[in-house]
Amino acid sequence: NAGVTQTPKFQVLKTGQSMTLQCAQDMNHEYMSWYRQDPGMGLRLIHYSVGAGITDQGEVPNGYNVSRSTTEDFPLRLLSAAPSQTSVYFCASQETGGTEAFFGQGTRLTVV
């Protein structure tokens, strides 16, 4: 059982480049979310989705877009990468709100 799969695991971008971080889950979970984790700051919510076709902003949405066209996939797009977006990104899924969150292995992104 794959659970939550994130790709890529590592990425280096130049300032101004765009890219998409992929996230897929095979547990038929309705809820999916993206977090970034910076040293000493814990996990901060970027965007989340409560089902296909529904997305909403989290705590730090600026510079990121998401879409949820299927239950399984929740890609995160960086529109124009900036050094401040250097971070570790985690995708998570939950069966419903208030239940256990399952995380992908993370994407370590460096913007130079």
Query: What part of residues 42-61 is at the interface with other proteins (CB under 8 A)?
Result: 42-45, 48, 50, 56, 58
Q: Is residue 24 a contact residue for other proteins (CB under 8 A)?
A: no
Which residues from 61-100 bind other proteins, rule CB under 8 A?
90, 94, 97-100
Amino acid identity, residue 36? R
Cα–Cα distance, 90 to 68 (Å, whole number): 16
How many other C-beta atoms are found inside a 10 Å radius of the C-beta of residue 56?
A: 12
Q: Which member of 15, 69, 105, 110 binds other proteins (CB under 8 A)?
A: 105
User: Is residue 2 at the binding interface for other proteins, with CB under 8 A as the rule?
Assistant: no
Amino acid symbol at 50? V
Let me know if 62 is exposed, middle or buried by CB neighbors in 10 A (0-12, 13-18, 19+): exposed
- Specify the residue, 14 or 42, whose C-beta has the smaller distance to other proteins: 42
16 vs 51 by CB, closer to other proteins: 51
Rounded to whole angstroms, the Cα distance separating 65 from 54 reads 13
Q: Give the C-alpha separation, 38 to 60, whole Å.
A: 12
Contacts with other proteins by CB under 8 A lie at: 31, 33, 35, 40-45, 48, 50, 56, 58, 90, 94, 97-101, 103-106
